[in-house]
Structure 1
Amino acid sequence: MNTSLRNYWSLYLDFLNDFKDLTYSGYSIAYLFCHFYSLVSNNTELWNSLSDKDFTRHIKSQVNDQKEIQDAFYNYIQKHKGKSVTKSKHGKVVFHQDKLLRISRPSIMRIFHPSQTMIVHAGINKSAIKVKSARRKKPNKAKVLIGNHAVKKKKPKTPVPVKKTSHTVPTYYLTNYPIETEKVVTQVQNKARKIIASHKNHPVYKNQNFQSYFLNMIAEIIKRIEQSRQFLNDKHVSCLVVSTTHGYISRILSLVAAEKGIPTICMQHGIIASEFGYIPKIATVDAVYGDFEAEWYKKLGAPDVSLEIIGHPRFDQAFSRPTIERERFNNHLGLDNSKQTLMIVIRENQDNGKWRTLIETIGKLNLNVVIKNYPSKTPHPLTKEFSFVYSTAGYSIYDIFPNVDAVVSYASTVGLEAMLSKKPVFILNNHFPGYTGYYNELDKLVQTNPRILGKIIIDYFSDPSFKCYVEKKQKQFLGSAYPDVSHSGERLQKLVKRITRNTVS
């Protein structure tokens, strides 16, 4: 562990200890607070100072292994772990639907019977608001003349309501549960201010942005604890599925569920490229992609029974037949049908200089180059600089993969998805803080220098023997990264059955 990481995790452990007495209804606010990393990394001066050995004068804890943070959370979870509840035996599987779950409603309905499933959202039911708004608009009580007499119009017959069938997955909203927390929120916030005041020279706590965010988060955390309790008291739940326990709502739902003896499954929402997004592990079982993640979590002390290689249901698309023919795809984007196509995945304007150099290096290959601008849907600025570079427009990656010949990406999940779709993949990497080395097994197919990577791509398209090397490397990589290519949805279904059977009293 380098100095920056050691100081960061030590700082985090200090935060947990310094605010250990800041609680609400038995829950520690600090343990539910998310996301500590963003508060530290967004402060450039503070983040840079973590690499200084002298920073240790600001911290009391000395973390030498990430396992120490995981152990702290494990001990906390054990305090809130309740016995299995009888009602969960006949309960439903609940999916907390947020932007990171990436399992659509139709997919949920294909995996689980709708009558045994429900969805919970944290936000507001916008469709219900529209309906309610429309109902407020009362019809005009205009009168019409029949003969010489004015009479009121007859109201139209009320339409027969459509009965809800068992084929519909019900959706519930946490915001629909009433709460009155203003008084207690003020009390907890005032206590937080006193703790902050007692550390007036602390490099994080003295920051005004931290204080403002933390005080606002206290109100959110208390509100979500109450709403989660009401929801899980109100519904018969056998299992809770979340996208990540690094979002505070999913974390709160998971801990409240644990207190009620309800098992939780955390899906893996992306490759573990950075450790900051995946430590600590909180759910009963983490449904991981492959051996890489399983071994990574075991090093943190996670028991075997808390890990299951599931993959992800959205990756099942990689094994489906293409829905768009290449000629149609090319014509829509304006590509030359006589040329091969290279897809480049760029995260908005990050590292544009490197990507420009890469494109210049491979320019002599006479390829079509298409850029997937993530997460934006607008054409990337580099599409305007080169005549042979195009935007992928509104196509999804699973419409794009069958119609390109190779993929270049930063260290993102798209690289894995492209390989599952049987496409050669090259990674333009950055050694960012907390990097796990996820793609290192691809050897020379991963480069930080865009010119070197460009020459490797040239070798792939011009040297048959190198093409064989690429195929061999990717096959070896997938053997560890995604060893089971059977239907992920079915594996998730089996996992739910197993953990609900084992936890029901």
Structure 2
Amino acid sequence: MNNFQKNYWSMYLDFIRDFEALSFQGYSLPYLCHLPSYILPNTSLLQNLKRAEYSKNIKNEITSQKQFQQVFNHFIQNHTKKTVKKAQGKVVIHMDKLLRFPTSVIMGHFDHKRTILLTNGKLSGNKAIPNANSVRVNKKARAVPLTNTINVKQVKVKNNHPTNYKVKQKMVTLSLESYEKNIEANISLVQKEAIKLLNKYKDHHLYGHNTFRKWLLNNLKVVMIQIDATRRFLKHIAVSCVIVSTTHSYINRILAIVAASKGIPTICMQHGIIASELGYLPKIAAIDAVYGQYEKDWFINNGAPKGSVEVIGHPRFDQISQQSNVPQRLFQSKLGLDPKKKTVMFAVRGQEDVDQWRKLIQFLSQKLDINIVIKNYPSRSPHQLTKEFPNVYSTMHYPLYDIFANVDAVIAYPSTVGLEALISKKPVFILDKDANGNTNYYQGLDDLIHKNPKILAHQVYRYFSSPVDKKRIDATHQTFLDNAYATEKRSIDRLLKLIQRLTR
């Protein structure tokens, strides 16, 4: 572990221990408050955590990620009841912007009578109360007003983030918000206890800041509301399994823990490559459904219990094998590309590392007469570099997989795009960068990943100009992919088989 990792995980453990006594309905709240949401946006704090001397501020010492994971393993075990299989129970899919299940997968592969789509915001569309045929209700539970959406046009969630679903067929959709009750008295009591602790730590390097104080008091409130709503939901509906996108959302973390306390297994899908450990540790769900053997080994090596990680892939990647409906001539014409030239796609994240990308364009253009198209994420606007070079174009409105079908190579920052391009059988090169908690995911690509844009440009040149190098690079890609993603079976088939095993 480097200085940052030691200080980060040690400080996280300090937070848990210092506020462990704050609890609600039997759950210690700091485990469910997502501390990284306060740390990661704080650039000055992040810089301080990289200094070895910062450890003098910290009481607990974490020397490995496994050590920190075991703290959460103990917490999860204390809240886990033996799984009670419910063959007739509902499979609940928590819909948020990271799950990214294609609508066709949900509507085409999940049993409409056994599946509930769950959101954490208000629903729009046609509304009705579910009947006995659509939702299996625990009759002993107190009735809670529900919202069932048929032919949903769009589901809106809190903070005005639309989900990535547009459900066009009949499937029950519920909102956790419908289960929220007034628990202000409980919240006030816990916040008063928190204030006593904060006053005790008024000179603390982290807790002494007013911004932290506001963050903690607000987090305690939203976490308590979510715990109460989740408990009501799981008491009212007979649930056999819960699917979430990540347990680094406090909503999903609470879903997983409360479900475990009722003997309900949770499957956490992998929402992107593990480029940084900060978005994947600690592991919370009963089963993490990962892309490939790389992630399975990584989780186990970092303290995940045996049997809690399975290679599933992701249903959205199943679409990669489908033939694009965008003819190459149309693609080239719409973007203004020269059809006589090779086309290389850049996956760029806004203004991050823009000078490095600019240098890469310059070096690559000196060596090869090519079209360069830029996929700008998360913005849909053309990237500024498309205005600086005559051979650089925007990918416009085209979806990622249609772009893959019409380019000859892909260059990306360390992101999931690189893996998706490899699954699409496209040659991939990675412009590397430093990141907090970096896992070096793409190091298996050997010399096809580099921080130096000049060296990386030379590798791309060799791929297109030397048959010998092309053969070697193709072999490197295949070796990497064999460990990174299992393609011999569809992910949705693996997932449905896992659900069946957990519920029947």
With normalisation by structure 1, the TM-score equals 0.90
Which aligned pairs between 1:195-274 and structure 2 lie closer than 5 A?
195-274=197-276
Match of 2:337 in 1: 335
Match of 2:371 in 1: 368
Letter in 2 for 1:343: M
User: How many Å apart are 1:459 and its aligned residue?
Assistant: 1.4
Distance 1:115 1:95 in 2: 13
User: How many Å apart are 1:163 and its aligned residue?
Assistant: 11
Match of 2:448 in 1: 445
Q: What secondary structure sits across from 2:441 in the alignment? A: coil
Which aligned pairs between 1:10-409 and structure 2 lie closer than 5 A?
10-34=10-34, 36-85=35-84, 88-127=86-125, 168-364=170-366, 365-409=368-412
Q: What secondary structure sits across from 2:405 in the alignment? A: helix
Distance 1:354 1:331 in 2: 29
Distance 1:303 1:71 in 2: 9
1:9 aligns with 2:9: yes
User: How many Å apart are 1:84 and its aligned residue?
Assistant: 3.3
CA contact (8 A) 1:114 1:167 kept: no
Distance 1:24 1:460 in 2: 59
Distance 1:432 1:163 in 2: 43
Distance of aligned partners of 1:52 and 1:326 in 2 relative to their CA distance in 1, 3 Å threshold: same
CA contact (8 A) 1:40 1:204 kept: no
Letter in 2 for 1:51: K
Letter in 1 for 2:475: K
CA contact (8 A) 2:99 2:244 kept: yes
| Structure with more contact order per residue of length (Cα contacts < 8 Å, sep ≥ 6) | 1
Distance 2:265 2:234 in 1: 12
Percentage of pairs with the same residue: 46
Distance 1:391 1:167 in 2: 35
User: Per residue, is there more helix in 1 or in 2?
Assistant: 1
CA contact (8 A) 1:288 1:311 kept: yes
Distance 2:33 2:126 in 1: 31
Distance 1:43 1:238 in 2: 39
RMSD, matched Cα: 1.8
Distance 2:404 2:107 in 1: 26
Distance 1:369 1:44 in 2: 33
CA contact (8 A) 2:180 2:225 kept: no
Q: What secondary structure sits across from 1:342 in the alignment? A: strand
Match of 2:146 in 1: none
Q: What secondary structure sits across from 1:305 in the alignment? A: coil
Distance 1:183 1:126 in 2: 31
Letter in 2 for 1:92: K
Distance 1:308 1:462 in 2: 40
- The number of residues matched between the two structures is 467
Which residues of structure 2 form unaligned runs of 5+?
129-149, 153-167
CA contact (8 A) 2:81 2:261 kept: yes
Match of 2:434 in 1: 431
With normalisation by structure 2, the TM-score equals 0.90
CA contact (8 A) 1:93 1:239 kept: yes
CA displacement, residues 163-194 of structure 1 (integer Å, 9 cap, x when unaligned)? 99x96221001111240111111111121111
Give structure 1 regions of 4+ aligned residues with deviation exceeding 6 angstroms.
none
Match of 1:461 in 2: 464
Structure possessing the higher radius of gyration over alpha carbons = 1
Distance 1:106 1:179 in 2: 35
